[in-house]
């Protein structure tokens, strides 16, 4: 079955910026379901406070991100200025997403984007218990069931398997977000890094018509404040 394959990461700022593009494409092509694979952008657990200490231009980067993508980052900037130690660790976020996929299937794009919005728009710790409870409620999931799922070895293995699959697709050069169109005759690359709606939509139409030469390259996703487009 033809579908979008979207490689994203909860902690990827360019993925958050790409959300309106992805939402519009999904809305315009309801015949193409979206499969989301979580990434491993933050492979070592860290906090926003630690990141700020090592990246003096971090604030400037997020101001530029907002101007480029029109995605608000006020909550994140407030957390940055207040030195709130928001936790960041992609493997834990991947387990949370895998648990939500199992307990509330069919919403994986919205679930990924919900966590990104909570982080960048609201400035909340997406790995916290209160966010897990609120996220469970959004999809009518019993919070206790979600907590049990987070400790389920099968859920953890599913998260690790998807992360490995995303890494294998990206190869040596990892760049989030990455978007593919998958069809019976193969996989077409639509965007690698942040790209505008117009550019990505044009690539999609070309791929659907059988002409998938080239791809839409864009901004590299990094959390050290040195990203550029």
Domain ranges of the chain: 3-217
- The DSSP element (H or E) to which 179 belongs, if any, is strand 178-183
Which pLDDT tens digit goes with each residue over 9-64? 999 999 999 999 999 999 999 999 999 999 899 999 999 999 999 988 999 999 99
Tell me if 181 sits within 8 A of 190, measured CB to CB. yes
Residue 218 has pLDDT above 70, yes or no: no
Q: Mean pLDDT across the stretch 157-183?
A: 93
Of the CA atoms within 13 Å of residue 209, those in its CB half-sphere come to 8
Q: How far apart are CA 160 and CA 87, in angstroms?
A: 20
CATH topology of domain 3-217: Glutaredoxin (3.40.30)
pLDDT at 221 over 80: no
Look up the pTM and report it: 0.91
């Amino acid at each position: 079955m033809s579908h979008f394959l979207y490689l994203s990461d909860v902690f990827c700022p360019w993925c958050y910026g790409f959300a309106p593009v992805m939402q519009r494409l999904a809305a315009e092509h309801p015949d193409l379901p979206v499969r989301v694979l979580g990434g491993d952008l933050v492979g070592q657990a860290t906090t926003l406070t630690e990141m700020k200490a090592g990246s003096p231009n971090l604030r400037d980067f997020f101001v530029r991100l907002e101007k480029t993508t029109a995605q608000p980052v006020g909550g994140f900037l407030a957390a940055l200025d207040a030195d709130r130690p928001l936790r960041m660790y992609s493997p834990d976020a991947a387990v949370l997403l895998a648990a939500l996929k199992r307990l509330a299937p069919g919403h994986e794009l919205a679930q990924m984007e919900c966590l990104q919005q909570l982080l960048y728009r609201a400035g909340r710790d997406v790995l916290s218990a209160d966010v897990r409870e609120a996220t469970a409620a959004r999809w009518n999931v019993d919070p206790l069931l979600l907590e049990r799922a987070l400790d389920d070895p099968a859920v953890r293995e599913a998260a690790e398997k998807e992360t490995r699959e995303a890494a294998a697709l990206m190869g040596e050069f990892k760049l989030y977000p990455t978007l593919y169109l998958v069809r019976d005759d193969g996989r077409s690359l639509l965007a690698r890094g942040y790209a505008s709606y117009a550019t990505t939509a044009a690539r999609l139409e070309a791929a659907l018509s059988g002409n998938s030469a080239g791809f839409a390259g864009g901004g590299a996703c990094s959390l050290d404040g040195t990203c550029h487009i």
